[in-house]
Amino acid sequence: MAALNIKKGSSSHSAYDLRDPHAQVESSHTLAVLVDNEAGVLARVIGLFSGRGYNIDSLTVAEVDHKGHRSRITIVTRGSLAVIDQIKAQLGRIVPVHEVHDLTVEGRAVERELALFKVAGTGEKRVEALRLADIFRASVVDSTLESFVFEITGTPEKIDAFADLMRPLGLIDVARTGVAALSRGV
Amino acid sequence: MSRAMTGAKMVVQALKDQGVEVVFGYPGGAVLPIYDEIFQQNDIKHVLVRHEQGAVHMAEGYARSTGKPGVVLVTSGPGATNAVTGLVDALMDSIPLVVFTGQVPTFMIGTDGFQEADTVGITRPCTKHNWLVKDTDKLAETIHQAFHVATSGRPGPVLIDIPKDVQFATGGYTGPKQARTDHYQPKVKGDIEAITKLVDLMETAERPIFYTGGGVINSGPGASQLLRELVDATGFPITSTLMGLGAYPASGKSWLGMLGMHGLYEANLAMHDCDLMINIGARFDDRITGRIADFSPQSKKAHIDIDASSINKVIHVDLPILGDVGHVLEDLLKVWKARGRKVNKPALDAWWGKIAGWKARNCLAYAPSTTTIKPQYALERLEALTKGRDRYITTEVGQHQMWAAQFLSFEAPNRWMTSGGLGTMGYGLPASIGVQVAHPDALVINVAGEASWLMNMQEMGTAVQFRAPVKQFILNNERLGMVRQWQQLLHGERYSQSWSEALPDFVKLAEAFGCKGIQCSDPAKLDDAIQEMLDYDGPVIFDCLVEKHENCFPMIPSGKPHNEMILGDAETEGAIGAKGAVLV
């Protein structure tokens, strides 16, 4: 089963053979869920998380195969390994869900997020914001005499770091897309 | 070639093509076109219920006693919301249902129209899957897919919401063979490597036990047959959950009785002390496990289940086998036989010796009475007087349900219909009607408590109308018995709201419904009264006035492990600690 990160139909070993089942240490996992793009499918996934008390740190969804009506939902969640395995198994049994991948355990993955930052200020602060934006390779997508809107792409950590730097410089609004992720290599 | 027809006609055509014989339902504005089509045909029987919840429980009774999906048809808004309890009940107990709901026309959806409810939104977590069909061309295919999803893999209820304009519009009909079902194909064959590993464990186990559940019943009669063969050939003891009763016959030599909170002492102690637990189609429910940390501490655990999310959900298992019970048991038997049918005979003999010691405790013993009918006695007599008959039992929820599971014996699968997971009071009466509709000539008895029974008593009208000769065997203690028992054990005997005040006269009630009423309060007259019920050719409401304060034992108090069962009233003092008190 893809949901359990073991070969489909194989049950000779479970993920539990590999790890301590009683480990209560919470860790963050990025799950890629491929679903039929049909009405209500996102509600099913979100309902599963709220109904069973799981966490969602970030969630993105968009159609990725127009002809095949497939959407990709990327969820960043946290929990003990037992909980993460249960989340994957529960996702796997939703009828329109085709595949569940745990990008955190299935080898290395690229994770990116896009964010827009509105920073208001004049004088020295405005110059400093622009200088830092340059260091972070953020681009200016809107500008007035009192404000900038920066666009930045990167890992969630990079965007957090940029937000920390912008806050004292007049950060007034943030919009983030949530994480999109793909495994590296083929 | 697809044939053109209206959406309403498609529903009826698709039901015929799916082999459906009976629909349980209730008409209303948003399903009138479908009811018009039902009027104009004779292939599908429609059972008119009195309340939509009753329709769903009837369909559950039908499904559980036949292995076929139950079909329900109700209207929009309140029709759909009334069906919700039944949907969750079927979801928890893995019962295949296909429920059709009417919906306001597509152009009115979202306007808070008359009898509009967001049915797919409300029922999304209450169903295995659901659909809102907005295009008549897609309706037939969706219905066929719905039957496929309801019955494949772990069965469950599905719902199709059909707006009224979609029922009126004409579209192309897709037959069952043309409908695409390929994307939902749960794996049924278990991994042979894992099965072989289980055989390894079985060959050397010193204290093995089979722990079976509703998954065996759901897998079909073939699975029960294979289970019997396996159990009898290995000589391993077997216990079952409430849901799995009948898969292995109660008269079988390896039968320990039901396990769990009100299970038998020998079954629970064997679970606690075993060194190999083979879970077949059960799910380590909290009624079974008691305190997780002390659950069967010395055993290796194997778990055969078709649902990956059931494995390692509650209890960590050493050997998961993902697949259908029937398929896995077939392979398991094959491998075990091919390797010479080995078991650890000397150890097994010693294990049975230990079990015999537990059995000698006679955990179901109760204080008999010559003046009052003890509920256990009533069930013993019901058992004795129906012995050997092909008998179908449904129950409501509470003490009577547990006593029925303890004192009635089940020799075949699909003969025992009870609300296990959800614990729905009001389940038994409609379920018994659904069973009787499926088996018109069989003896169908609903073992009930008076409080549960009142919750859906309107369905007696359905029983009378459709000449379903269901026997309502009500153990009337004028109490919410299980609630009262917990209040006695947990809440200082403060019996808050747990008595049945102003009960109807059940005999007069029976007469008012146009069926037979019998009342009995004298143990000496009980046999004759039960015989009168069994002999009567029609529905009966049997008001059996029983001891009011009987407690249901044995009992594993909440938060306690299997080996801390209490066997009788004398042991109840302080049985449940503060931690256990927060559990249900």
User: Is position B164 annotated as part of the catalytic site?
Assistant: yes
pLDDT at residue A159 is higher than 90: yes
Catalytic: which of B52, B116, B380, B459?
A: B52
Nearest to B149 by CA among B180, B189, B103: B180
Q: For B194, which residue in chain A has the nearest alpha carbon? A: A12
Domains of chain B with CATH codes: 3-173 (3.40.50.970), 192-359 (3.40.50.1220), 375-552 (3.40.50.970)
B580/B573 Cα distance (integer angstroms): 14
Of A106, A135, A161, the position where a domain reaches its end is A106
Nearest to A103 by CA among A95, A94, A112: A112
Do A99 and A152 share a domain, yes or no?
A: no
Catalytic: which of B16, B107, B114, B253?
A: B114
B118 touching A (Cβ < 8 Å): no
Of A11, A40, A98, the CB nearest to B124: A40
Do A177 and A137 share a domain, yes or no?
A: yes
Chain B contact set for A21 (CB, 8 A): 312, 316
Residue B84 banded pLDDT, cuts 50, 70, 90? very high
Give the best-scoring range by mean pLDDT among A19-28, B1-10, B115-124: B115-124
pLDDT at residue B246 is higher than 90: yes
Chain B contact set for A4 (CB, 8 A): 308, 311
Angle separating helix axes B7-17 and B32-39, nearest 10 degrees: 50
B312 touching A (Cβ < 8 Å): yes
> Which residue is it, tokens 């009262």?
B484
At B56, phi and psi to the nearest 5? -70, -40
Do A68 and A117 share a domain, yes or no?
A: no
| Cross-chain Cβ contact A12/B120 below 8 Å | no
This complex has an ipTM of 0.91
pLDDT digit string, tens, across residues A125-151:
999 999 999 999 999 999 999 999 999
How far A71 CA sits from the closest chain B CA (Å)?
A: 15
Chain A contact set for B190 (CB, 8 A): 11
Do A45 and A63 share a domain, yes or no?
A: yes
Of A46, A80, A106, the position where a domain reaches its end is A106
Instruction: Count CB pairs under 8 A between chains A and B.
Output: 75
Do A125 and A171 share a domain, yes or no?
A: yes
Do A135 and A172 share a domain, yes or no?
A: yes
pLDDT at residue A2 is higher than 70: no
User: Is position B52 annotated as part of the catalytic site?
Assistant: yes
Chain A contact set for B335 (CB, 8 A): none
Q: Which two tokens stand for residue B59?
A: 């369909």
Domain holding A96, by residue range, is 2-106
Do A93 and A178 share a domain, yes or no?
A: no
Percent of chain A with pLDDT strictly greater than 70: 88
Nearest to B543 by CA among B420, B467, B448: B448
Nearest to B313 by CA among B478, B178, B154, B138: B154
B534/B453 Cα distance (integer angstroms): 19
Substitution target in A95, A97, A98, A102 with the highest count of B β-carbons within 10 Å is A95
Q: What CATH number is associated with residue A142?
A: 3.30.70.1150
Nearest to A13 by CA among B295, B184, B311: B311
pLDDT digit string, tens, across residues B311-322:
999 999 999 999
Q: Which residues of A touch B (CB under 8 A)?
A: 1, 3-4, 8-12, 14, 16, 21-22, 36, 39-40, 43-44, 47, 51, 82, 85-86, 89-90, 92-96, 98
Average pLDDT over residues B57-62: 98
Of A106, A127, A152, the position where a domain reaches its end is A106
Average pLDDT over residues B529-552: 97
Q: What CATH number is associated with residue A29?
A: 3.30.70.260
Do A53 and A141 share a domain, yes or no?
A: no
pLDDT digit string, tens, across residues B352-402:
999 999 999 999 999 999 999 999 999 999 999 999 999 999 999 999 999
Do A119 and A101 share a domain, yes or no?
A: no
| Cross-chain Cβ contact B191/A51 below 8 Å | no
Do A164 and A132 share a domain, yes or no?
A: yes
pLDDT digit string, tens, across residues A80-93:
999 999 999 999 99
Catalytic: which of B9, B68, B128, B164?
A: B164
Average pLDDT over residues B192-216: 98
- Structural domain total, chain A: 2
Do A39 and A87 share a domain, yes or no?
A: yes
Of A40, A86, A95, the CB nearest to B313: A86
Q: For B193, which residue in chain A has the nearest alpha carbon? A: A12
Give the pLDDT of residue B490. 87
Distance of alpha carbon B432 from its chain centroid, rounded? 12
How far A2 CA sits from the closest chain B CA (Å)?
A: 10
Do A135 and A101 share a domain, yes or no?
A: no
